[in-house]
């Protein structure tokens, strides 16, 4: 699909640390297009919808609390294979293990918190992307 879209979130840790420009720059430098963006503080209902797949995980409540802890930036990025391409730019979920050169590998580390704080979210499949974009950018 040539105009594939993905949902990227710059999480509260990324916004607090002043990394909005850095993350957007990495997306643009890779050649993807920023189609839409929106900065706001998410509420519980929106985050419970977004993270429904993790409802039974031990880190679920800390994850929702962390994601409500400050403003986030929601972004729709587009381009051929952007879903896997942004996951590659983001790096592994655990920032300790994320490769240097990736957003998480370069910019995050283990903070000893119950939930991993790793700067960004990126949709993991085309189904997730469609679902998540509709949550953050309702028509």
Active site residues: 121
Q: Least distance to ligand DAT from the beta carbon of 94, Å? A: 8
Interface positions, 96-135, toward ligand DAT (CB under 6 A): 115-116, 118, 121, 124
Fill in the per-residue mask, 66 to 95: x = in contact with ligand DAT (CB under 6 A), - = not in contact.
---------------------------x--
Q: Are 12 and 70 in contact (CB under 8 A)?
A: yes
Nearest by Cα to 82 from 20, 134, 27, 11: 27
88 CB-contact burial (10 Å; exposed 0-12 / middle 13-18 / buried 19+): middle
**Which residue number, 86 or 139, has a Cβ lying nearer to ligand DAT?**
86
Phi/psi region, residue 81 (left: phi>0; alpha: psi -120 to 50; beta: rest), is left
The residues that touch ligand DAT, with contacts defined as CB under 6 A, are: 59, 63, 93, 115-116, 118, 121, 124
């Amino acid at each position: 699909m040539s105009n594939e879209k993905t949902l990227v979130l710059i999480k509260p840790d990324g916004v607090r640390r002043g990394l909005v420009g850095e993350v957007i720059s990495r997306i643009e430098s890779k050649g993807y297009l920023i189609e839409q963006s929106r900065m706001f503080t998410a509420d519980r209902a929106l985050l419970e919808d977004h993270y429904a797949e993790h409802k039974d995980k031990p880190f679920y409540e800390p994850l929702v609390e962390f994601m409500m802890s400050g403003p986030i930036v929601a972004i729709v990025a587009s381009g051929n294979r952007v879903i896997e391409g942004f996951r590659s730019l983001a790096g592994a979920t655990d920032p300790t293990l994320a490769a240097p050169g990736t957003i998480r590998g370069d910019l995050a580390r283990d903070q000893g918190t119950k939930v991993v704080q790793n700067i960004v979210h990126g949709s993991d499949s085309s189904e997730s992307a469609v679902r998540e974009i509709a949550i953050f950018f309702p028509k």
